[in-house]
Amino acid sequence: MTEQEEMIDGIKSHGKQKKGMAHLIHYLEGRQLTQRQAIHGYCYHCCGFGEEEDCEVITCPLYPFAPYSSKKRVIPARRKKP
């Protein structure tokens, strides 16, 4: 069994059914993901396979895009050239 197959088995038997789960499994199966799907899959993995509701790691650059974050995406205003 490959590392990817072992991880898929682990996710299916112990992971929570949450956003990002399917994307992570699809990635491990070798399918292509969009950037958003990749972020959701990564956050699912990072949150203990769906254990945490909101990681609250506001210093993480993925946080504004995280599937469970409570903060809305904030786009900083562009600086004007002098």
Residues 15-74 that bind ligand SF4 (CB under 6 A): 42-43, 46-47, 55, 57, 60, 62-63, 66
- In the complex, minimum distance from the CB of residue 63 to ligand SF4, in angstroms, rounded to a whole number: 4
- In the complex, minimum distance from the CB of residue 69 to ligand SF4, in angstroms, rounded to a whole number: 6
CA-to-CA dists, residue 60 to 26, 71, 75, angstroms = 24, 12, 15
- In the complex, minimum distance from the CB of residue 41 to ligand SF4, in angstroms, rounded to a whole number: 10
* CB of 7 or CB of 46, closer to ligand SF4: 46
> Which of 11, 13, 16 is closest to 28 using CA atoms?
11
Question: How many CB atoms are closer than 10 A to CB 45?
Answer: 19
Which parts of this chain interact with ligand SF4 (CB under 6 A)? 42-43, 46-47, 55, 57, 60, 62-63, 66
